[in-house]
Structure 1
Amino acid sequence: MDYDAELKLFVDGAWRAGEGRDAQPVIDPARGAAIAEVPLASAADLEQALVAADAGFRAWRATDVEARAAILHKAAALLRERTERIATLLTLEQGKPLVEARGEVAGAAQLFDYYAEEAKRAYGRVLVRPTGTRSIVIRQPAGPVASFTPWNFPVYLMAKKLAAALAAGCSVIAKPPEETPGSTSALMRAVIDAGVPGNVAQLVFGVPDTVSRTLIASPVIRKLSFTGSVPVGRHLMKLAADGLKLVTMELGGHAPVMVFADCDLERTLDMVVPQKFRNAGQVCVSPTRFHVERSIYDRFVAGFAARTAALSVGSGLDPATRMGPLANRRRPDAIEALVGDAVARGARVAHGGARFGQGFFFQPTVLADVPLDADVMSTEPFGPVALIRPFDSEEEAVAEANRLPYGLAAFAFTENGRRANRLGDMIEAGMIGINSFAISVVDAPFGGVKDSGFGREGGPEGLESYMVTKAIHQA
């Protein structure tokens, strides 16, 4: 399939490219070859985007909520109509299998539909006061937003920020990743074609540090929303502190999975293996550290390795593929180093363990008996690597789950109801799945604790994150 994408910036209602702007190659990760070039925003582009966002916010916040909702519903409908084209672009530039890419576009459409309706429920409250006086609490849009999103789920994560911010009445300057410009540009085209004004939703690509410093330093921007790594999140928070910006940070994770002997072992294995290798493990909530009760440990490792060996790995365009390449040339190098360190420290390779083929492919890898001092036990691999260790008690499993500074997602498999309640209370994570991986859903909050960030996206909490609270007292 051809990479049929028109790559441009969208600033103040105009699609822009060329005109002396710098450009960056877009790489097909299945072949490791350039397939296009994405233009990078100039300083003038960013300044014009800021001026436009300021004007757009004043008009959009005054737009009737029913009108905003109708536009967001239209954006959802357009995404569904254009699913095949957007999904193909996503697979070509990011690598994930087409079936996963289609699911990502469907999830993005669902977000626009959800927030179209949730915008109508941004209620305030009336306080009890003496007769003849009134005190009310209302919520209002925070102001122009700068959003920064990563390459692992570029369409869904950009939509998660756009849909909620637009529903709240904010204008948005979206800065998606340069690695995946075709699919994110297609998302923005759907939003604009649906009727969002061109100064309310804007799209810029560029040198990340230049774009972030320029946008965050501007007094126009009132809110920063970032999804990405912990180090970059810390850096952006420091920039935002100078202007006292509102901040949402959805950062990294290193999700533990506690597997108890009373679980349905075969069903558990059938669930965990596809989840581990979804998007080649490039998922912030990917199950990664498997802590397995000792009495079922050997059977778990053998079953995990056998199911992993049966996975079809190849180009995401092949309908038979269940795991595609890693998204960029940095990832195989990083995974290779982490696996090599773990093996050198005593980990056993139950399956995989090496890169292969053309492009950025790395075998789905299962490591057993991984020592705690291996780098990969403390560093998020963000790739197709499962780490398995035994435990002897519930207390030991919980202590290991909570050992790291990350606290995004955690999972547990048990048929003991009292244990499930205890684990829900004791595990330090923003989201916990017990006998389930369904934790990223539109009507539930998504976000972490500790080094995994703060603030929430999804659900009513996601709308609230783009609003400020005002109390009005009248005598």
Structure 2
Amino acid sequence: MSDNSYDTDLRLFLDGAWQAGEGRDTAPVINPATGNTLAELPLATAADLDTALAAADRGFRTWRDTDVNRRAAILHKAAALMRERTEAIATLMTREQGKVIAESRSEVTASAQLFDYYAEEAKRAYGRVLVRPTGQRSMVLPQPVGPVAAFSPWNFPLYLMAKKVAPALAAGCSVIAKPAEETPGCTSALMRCLADAGLPGDAAQLVFGVPDQVSRHLIGSDVIRHISFTGSVPVGKHLLKLAAEGVKRTTMELGGHAPVLIFADCDLDATLDKVVPQKFRNAGQVCVSPTRFYVEEPIYEAFVKGFAERTAKVRTGDGMDSANAMGPLANTRRPDAIEALVRDAAAKGARIAAGGEREGNQGFFFKPTLLADVPLEADIMNSEPFGPVAVTRPFHDMEEAIEQANRLPYGLAAFAFTESGRRANILGDAIEAGMVGINTFAIGGADTPFGGVKLSGFGSEGGPEGLAAYQVTKAVHQA
């Protein structure tokens, strides 16, 4: 399929109207598999952002008073439309982000599940009544926080936008969504599903623009009451400083550097069959991607050998080809960053067991890579690679493994593989992470809180906790 299959009609969604052109600056949208320009994306002006803010302010007052069953029906309808349009949305995602088409289809399905889940979860925001003397009442009421500014990244463009928009709308908030400029087609398709489902035009806005300008403008407005951000630690810190000026509530998911503890009692072949596909899912551009593999000494060399053999068989190429298991990196910055990390590790003594270099003469491809015996001083052992590179080191005992897992200031996700129930319990308690998977990578879902600790941020998306993020607590006392 050629790049001509990409929908070039990219627009902003402001106060119920799709808008483009009219003298706005534009930015190119690039196909990472070819390096070719797919389309030009209009960027919001200051006036556009003011329009979005005014609509969100007005929309909040009407949307919060909309019957919860009506809100739920709209969210369910949006989910149904997403499923009907799965192939079109998935194609847009693969064209502009690079992931293989099967992963894009799964992302559309998971995003629809979020809207269905929160459509029903909104009906369970009960609050509580306190025990008081006869004739008196004290109630604790969850209420929507207000207009929300939601900033989502390019690695899971649809799902991470849905994780913010679905619970915010379910709670009764209005939303201004600012997805990544690299992936505007699939996120625009999500907004079209909401509009076609009957969502009022002032309840949700979609803007693209120069990120720093958009964030300063939106967060600096008195209209915005909550900021939800998924992205890097430096940008998260910057947005937190902006939010602090207005004492605004925030949800921050700031990435991680997930450790994986492999114990000698695991089923080695079965474990390798799980970890290798997970490592190279979305070309390793996953905030919970298993990255630092600490392997118990008796099975270390066998683990490295098995991992390298499986890595060499991972077929890479254009994500639209269903025969490929891994697509390109999402933008021109990523191969440069990965190459620098691999070279640094090799210079400091790491062994390249598989991959280790770019691939092809077009697009942003990097071979699936395994580094063994990586010293702790290597940059890649301390900075999140966000790419198709796994690093390995042996460990002697569980205490050392836990110490290494907790060594970094990140704490989003961690994983361990062991057949010992007692050890599993200890690891679940001792590892400093917002999510821990024991013998599984299935740590996310519509009903599951997703979030980290330490520099990985705070607050949760998913589950009842995700709805609570968009609510404030009000106590009403009546005598």
1:294 Cα deviation (Å)?
0.4
What CA RMSD, in Å, does the superposition of the two structures yield over aligned residues? 0.5
2:467 aligns with one of 441, 463, 466: 463
Take 1:13 and 1:136, find their aligned partners in 2: how far apart are those partners?
36
Q: What secondary structure, in the 3-state scheme, does the structure 2 residue paired with 1:321 have?
A: coil
1:412 Cα deviation (Å)?
0.2
2:367 aligns with one of 359, 363, 366: 363
1:340 Cα deviation (Å)?
0.1
- Are the equivalent residues in 1 in contact too, given 2:148–2:225 (CA < 8 A)? yes
1:190 Cα deviation (Å)?
0.4
Take 2:421 and 2:215, find their aligned partners in 1: how far apart are those partners?
47
1:85 aligns with one of 83, 88, 100: 88
1:451 Cα deviation (Å)?
0.1
1:298 aligns with one of 298, 301, 305: 301
The Cα offsets for residues 113-148 of structure 1, whole Å up to 9 and x where unpaired, read as 000000000110011111111101000000000000
1:423 equivalent to 2:427? Answer yes
Q: What secondary structure, in the 3-state scheme, does the structure 1 residue paired with 2:280 have?
A: helix
1:452 equivalent to 2:441? Answer no
Take 1:13 and 1:124, find their aligned partners in 2: how far apart are those partners?
33
How does 1:110-121 map onto structure 2 within 5 Å? Answer: 110-121=113-124
1:154 maps to amino acid = P
2:381 maps to amino acid = M
Take 1:33 and 1:239, find their aligned partners in 2: how far apart are those partners?
36
2:439 aligns with one of 402, 412, 435: 435
Partner of 1:173: 176
The Cα offsets for residues 359-394 of structure 1, whole Å up to 9 and x where unpaired, read as 100000000000000000000000000000000000
1:136 maps to amino acid = M
Take 1:215 and 1:271, find their aligned partners in 2: how far apart are those partners?
42
The Cα offsets for residues 32-84 of structure 1, whole Å up to 9 and x where unpaired, read as 11110100000100001100000000000000000000000000000000000
1:347 equivalent to 2:350? Answer yes
1:184 equivalent to 2:191? Answer no
**Percentage of pairs with the same residue:** 74
1:229 aligns with one of 213, 220, 232: 232
1:112 Cα deviation (Å)?
0.3
Partner of 1:390: 394
- Are the equivalent residues in 2 in contact too, given 1:21–1:42 (CA < 8 A)? yes
- Are the equivalent residues in 1 in contact too, given 2:158–2:186 (CA < 8 A)? yes
How does 1:185-200 map onto structure 2 within 5 Å? Answer: 185-200=188-203
1:4 Cα deviation (Å)?
2.1
Q: What secondary structure, in the 3-state scheme, does the structure 1 residue paired with 2:392 have?
A: strand
**TM-score normalized with structure 1 length:** 1.00
Partner of 1:72: 75
1:329 equivalent to 2:332? Answer yes
**TM-score normalized with structure 2 length:** 0.99
2:477 maps to amino acid = H
Structure 1, gaps ≥5 residues long: none
1:95 equivalent to 2:95? Answer no
Take 2:194 and 2:438, find their aligned partners in 1: how far apart are those partners?
36
Take 1:399 and 1:466, find their aligned partners in 2: how far apart are those partners?
35
Partner of 1:147: 150
1:105 maps to amino acid = V
1:6 Cα deviation (Å)?
2.0
Take 1:338 and 1:33, find their aligned partners in 2: how far apart are those partners?
26
Partner of 2:135: 132
The Cα offsets for residues 220-260 of structure 1, whole Å up to 9 and x where unpaired, read as 00000000000000000000000011100000100000000
Take 1:417 and 1:238, find their aligned partners in 2: how far apart are those partners?
43
Take 2:467 and 2:94, find their aligned partners in 1: how far apart are those partners?
30
Q: What secondary structure, in the 3-state scheme, does the structure 1 residue paired with 2:129 have?
A: strand
Partner of 1:159: 162
1:412 equivalent to 2:411? Answer no
Partner of 1:6: 9
1:281 equivalent to 2:270? Answer no
Q: What secondary structure, in the 3-state scheme, does the structure 2 residue paired with 1:361 have?
A: coil
- Are the equivalent residues in 2 in contact too, given 1:5–1:89 (CA < 8 A)? no
1:211 equivalent to 2:222? Answer no
1:15 aligns with one of 4, 18, 25: 18
Take 1:189 and 1:19, find their aligned partners in 2: how far apart are those partners?
21
Take 2:120 and 2:364, find their aligned partners in 1: how far apart are those partners?
41
2:381 aligns with one of 365, 373, 377: 377
Take 1:441 and 1:383, find their aligned partners in 2: how far apart are those partners?
23
The Cα offsets for residues 404-441 of structure 1, whole Å up to 9 and x where unpaired, read as 00000000000000000000000000000000000011
1:5 Cα deviation (Å)?
4.0
Take 1:441 and 1:4, find their aligned partners in 2: how far apart are those partners?
30
Q: What secondary structure, in the 3-state scheme, does the structure 2 residue paired with 1:340 have?
A: helix
- Are the equivalent residues in 2 in contact too, given 1:257–1:412 (CA < 8 A)? yes
Partner of 1:262: 265
- Are the equivalent residues in 1 in contact too, given 2:395–2:401 (CA < 8 A)? yes
- Are the equivalent residues in 2 in contact too, given 1:79–1:187 (CA < 8 A)? yes
1:274 maps to amino acid = P
1:367 maps to amino acid = L
Structure 2, gaps ≥5 residues long: none
Take 1:5 and 1:367, find their aligned partners in 2: how far apart are those partners?
40
1:356 Cα deviation (Å)?
1.5
1:418 maps to amino acid = R
1:280 Cα deviation (Å)?
0.1
Partner of 2:322: 319
2:92 maps to amino acid = L
2:406 aligns with one of 402, 406, 413: 402
Take 1:307 and 1:374, find their aligned partners in 2: how far apart are those partners?
24
The aligned length equals: 475
Q: What secondary structure, in the 3-state scheme, does the structure 1 residue paired with 2:103 have?
A: helix
Take 2:237 and 2:74, find their aligned partners in 1: how far apart are those partners?
35
The Cα offsets for residues 435-468 of structure 1, whole Å up to 9 and x where unpaired, read as 0000011101000000000000000000000000
- Are the equivalent residues in 1 in contact too, given 2:8–2:38 (CA < 8 A)? no
1:34 equivalent to 2:67? Answer no
